[in-house]
Amino acid sequence: MTTESLTRDVRALLRDRHAILLAHNYQRPEVQDAADLTGDSLGLSQAAARTDARVIVFCGVHFMAESAAILSPDKTVLLPRMDAGCPMADMITADDVRRIRDELPGVPVVTYVNSSAEVKAESDVCCTSANAVKVTRAVGAPRVYLAPDQNLAQWVARHTDQEVLYWKGFCPTHHRLRAEQVLEVKARFPGAPFVAHPECRPEVIDLADAVRSTSGMIDYCKALDADTVIVGTEEGVLHRLRKDSPAKQFVLAYPDFVCPNMKLTALEDVLEALERGDHVVTVPESTRVRAKAALDRMLQAGRD
């Protein structure tokens, strides 16, 4: 089947099932093109919650589908590939967070949305890579604990006077990038600005002209007055960057900047999930309510 006919069949089934198709910025180009919405994980879940779709098909990884289920308990959430997980989210469990709380009484736990629903439920407040600094400051405590990403935590620590303790998790895809690789690309493209994701190591952040979430990066690159931009995040985002700015050249900070989990979902998987209505992701109600409270506190902190 060609991509065109697959896309046609997917779109027809989406209409038939009153479903909305979401694709994270790191998904394969043809999946992004077939989707109703592309974007960051939480932004997509929030946007989907505002629609009257009965079904959400989330092309991303497991924790993202859980976030959609947390925000849309009245909708059915499908994850076309149930084996699409996030190694960073898997680096911390709810038991780990309970242990942190026991060992550090009174220290608020700020949890990155790249985490399981159970971990969110044990947290005081959630954050995204875009609002982590603002949320941490808003928590107001002199000591805070960030989980699970050590690099995001160290990025936050640079921008607050609070003491930031953190879990030693990391995104294998972003953590793999080293300063030498960035310096090599910079030497090949002299003068090209380098925009990095806060999941990158501090040594990489030191070399960046700007540090942005994926959606922030899209806005930043669109507005940037430059012929070439060096991109420090997963290669899927290049599809959108090139669409937005066809005249600009986008170069990855290292050639295989790829999250294998984000590349698992093919249009065939989307079609199959829609046909069968299986691969449903659910979150137990007691967990959902507590995880939603942590997300709501994040939204409140982001507003203040």
Backbone phi and psi for residue 75, each to the nearest 5 degrees, phi listed first: -110, 155
- Binding span for ligand SF4 by CB under 6 A among 70-78, 138-146, 169-177, 269-277: 169-177
The residue type at 182: V
Q: Which is nearer to ligand SF4, 55 or 262 (CB)?
A: 262
To ligand SF4, the closest distance from the beta carbon of 106 in angstroms equals 29
Distance CA 125, CA 290 (A): 10
Q: Is 261 in the site for ligand SF4 (CB under 6 A)?
A: yes
How many CB atoms neighbour CB 241 within 10 A?
20
- Binding span for ligand SF4 by CB under 6 A among 14-22, 51-59, 84-92, 280-288: 84-92
How many residues bind ligand SF4 (CB under 6 A)? The answer is: 12
To ligand SF4, the closest distance from the beta carbon of 242 in angstroms equals 19
Q: Is 253 in the site for ligand SF4 (CB under 6 A)?
A: no
Residues 22-81 that bind ligand SF4 (CB under 6 A): 61
Q: Is 171 in the site for ligand SF4 (CB under 6 A)?
A: yes
Q: Which is nearer to ligand SF4, 114 or 213 (CB)?
A: 114
The residue type at 107: V
- Binding span for ligand SF4 by CB under 6 A among 92-100, 159-167, 171-179, 278-286: 171-179
Distance CA 97, CA 102 (A): 9
To ligand SF4, the closest distance from the beta carbon of 174 in angstroms equals 6
Residues 193-252 that bind ligand SF4 (CB under 6 A): 234
The length of the chain, given as a count of residues = 304
Beta bridge partners of 280: 78
Longest dimension (CA), the chain: 58
Cα 162 to chain centroid distance, Å, stands at 25
To ligand SF4, the closest distance from the beta carbon of 173 in angstroms equals 4
Cis preceding-peptide flag for 148 (omega within 30 of 0): yes
Q: Both tokens of residue 97? A: 């967070």
Beta bridge partners of 23: 38, 59
Binding residue for ligand SF4, selected from 27, 45, 67, 173, defined by CB under 6 A: 173
Backbone phi and psi for residue 189, each to the nearest 5 degrees, phi listed first: -125, 70
To ligand SF4, the closest distance from the beta carbon of 52 in angstroms equals 29
Q: Is 172 in the site for ligand SF4 (CB under 6 A)?
A: yes
Binding residue for ligand SF4, selected from 45, 72, 114, 181, defined by CB under 6 A: 114
Q: Which of 122, 110, 75, 139 is nearest to 301 (CA)?
A: 139
To ligand SF4, the closest distance from the beta carbon of 104 in angstroms equals 25
- The tokens 């959430």 sit on which residue? 77
- Binding span for ligand SF4 by CB under 6 A among 15-23, 239-247, 258-266, 278-286: 258-266
Binding residue for ligand SF4, selected from 21, 35, 164, 259, defined by CB under 6 A: 259
Instruction: Measure the N-to-C terminal CA separation of the chain; round to a whole number of Å.
Output: 50
Distance CA 172, CA 181 (A): 16
Tabulate helix, strand, coil % of the chain (nearest 5).
45, 15, 35
Q: Which residues bind to ligand SF4, rule: CB under 6 A?
A: 61, 86-88, 114, 171-173, 234, 259, 261-262
